[in-house]
Amino acid sequence: MVTTFRVHAATDRDADYDVVAGRGVLAELPRLLAERCPAHLYAVVTDSRVAELHAKRVVALLEQAGFAARLFVFPAGEWNKVRATWSALSDELLAAHVGRDGAVVAVGGGVVGDLAGFVAATLHRGIPVVQVPTTTLAMIDASVGGKAGVDVPAGKNLVGAFHPPRFVLSDIDTIATLPRNQIAAGLAEAIKHGVVADAAYAAAVAAAAGGCLGRSPEALEPIVTRGIAIKVEIVSADPEERGLRQVLNFGHTVGHAVEARSGYGLLHGEAVAIGMATEAWLAEEVGIASPGTRRAVLDLLAAYDLPCTVPPALTPDALLETMQHDKKVRAGAVRFALPCCIGRMAQSADGAWTVDVPSEKIVRAIEANRQ
């Protein structure tokens, strides 16, 4: 079954776009490109793993349809989502004469999507991008919402742009080649979507763990599709993260710090799992979450064997320092998006979806959740 979601991108209605998801939908790429993103040359950007598995096939598909397409490959891994790779890719696209009438097709996980999206956002001051996510994480989360960017020494995603895609095409069959730990890491974001917006979905994600980890398309399809729907609903209500969209940062304040401080030894989704476990503890501790919320979060993570404790090498002080560089920091205080219970997030008295937490409480939460 093919499902199409409409995403509201900004005040400018012309930037609204569709997410098309389903099994085998990659075959629709040439038709959708001709219709929604005509270009003289398509720069298919991917990483070294996805090149062989899927992106070369995408180039062949475009050439068979009579389009001009070129493949651009950078080395796989979160540590390559940096300015140096953005710079090298930008030069390669320029050398290949990708002009203002060109377009970028990002084929891969969230690293490819964020990097290729940022190249597209800046090349000739912005050329169109199409997202073709191939990981559970990129389908459910990264490809929807128009955020692009790179990691810098001060922290994750601190340099970037909003650059909504012309469309997103999520072929669930591409997950068939994804390693088990990557599937689990992606479904950590699905658990997050459930915790922030839909308790029934959180339960369904946990119940489907066996099938999803076993790459059963029948198990994956409803989980991925509903995960996309939740992300679409939230970003459409708040495309530029002025309010509600902040709920999606649950688990990410601690998670990003853990990810950066671990030297990217943990996958993004694994770091977010640790972040959610720690922030759920914090939410109970400050009296925002009802008792049992943290236990429920831990049970959801356990279904996917996701980590839930901060590695011992990471000290609370070091993590706090990294958090203080985070985008979510306002006027020096670290702000957290915290749940009241599974399926509902807390809103503070001023209407914001984040709350200030004093440093001592953050340090205690990390200490209590360290191995």
47 binds ligand NAD (CB under 6 A): yes
The least CB distance from residue 104 to ligand NAD, in Å, is: 15
At its nearest, how many Å lie between ligand NAD and the CB of residue 285?
26
d(CA 334, CA 366): 14
Helices (H), 262-315: 268-285, 293-302
Active site residue 241: yes
Binders of ligand NAD among 87-126, rule CB under 6 A? 108-112, 114
CA atoms within a 13 Å half-sphere pointing along the CA-CB vector of 247: 28
49 binds ligand NAD (CB under 6 A): yes
Give the position of tokens 């060109």. Answer: 102
Pairing of strands 17-22, 3-7: antiparallel
335 scored as a contact of ligand NAD (CB under 6 A) = no
189 part of the active site: yes
- Catalytic: which of 252, 261, 294, 335? 252
What's the closest the beta carbon of residue 115 comes to ligand NAD, in angstroms? 9
Residue 174 touches ligand NAD, criterion: CB under 6 A: yes
Residue range at the interface with ligand NAD (CB under 6 A); choices 10-18, 91-99, 181-189, 220-228: 181-189
- Among residues 268, 279, 284, 294, the one annotated as catalytic is 268
Among the listed residues 166, 245, 268, 294, the single contact to ligand NAD using CB under 6 A: 268
Work out the widest C-alpha separation in the chain, in whole angstroms. Answer: 61
The DSSP annotation for 321-353 comes to: HHHTTSTT-BTTB-EE--EEETTEE---TTS-S
Q: Token match 């050329």: residue?
A: 127
How would you class 349 by CB atoms within 10 Å of its CB: exposed for 0-12, middle for 13-18, buried for 19 or more?
exposed
Q: Is 137 in the site for ligand NAD (CB under 6 A)?
A: yes
Tell me if residue 245 is catalytic.
yes
Residue 241 in the binding site for ligand NAD (CB under 6 A):
no
Residue selected from 3, 90, 122, 177 as contacting ligand NAD according to rule CB under 6 A: 177
Nearest to 251 by CA among 266, 270, 265: 270
Tell me the three-class secondary structure of 112-164, residue by residue.
HHHHHHHHHHHHHHCCCEEEEECCHHHHHHHCCCCEEEEEECCEEEEEEEECC
Q: Decide: is 53 part of the binding site for ligand NAD (CB under 6 A).
A: yes
Q: Which is nearer to ligand NAD, 179 or 292 (CB)?
A: 179
Is 231 one of the catalytic residues?
Answer: yes
Is 50 a binder of ligand NAD (CB under 6 A)? Answer: yes
Is residue 178 a contact partner of residue 213, using CB atoms and an 8 Å limit?
Answer: no
The yes or no reply on residue 138 touching ligand NAD (CB under 6 A) is yes
Q: Tell me which residues touch ligand NAD (CB under 6 A).
A: 47, 49-50, 53-54, 76, 78, 81, 108-112, 114, 134-135, 137-138, 141-142, 145, 147, 156-157, 174, 177-178, 182, 185-186, 268-269
- Catalytic positions are 125, 147, 189, 231, 241, 245, 249, 252, 256, 268
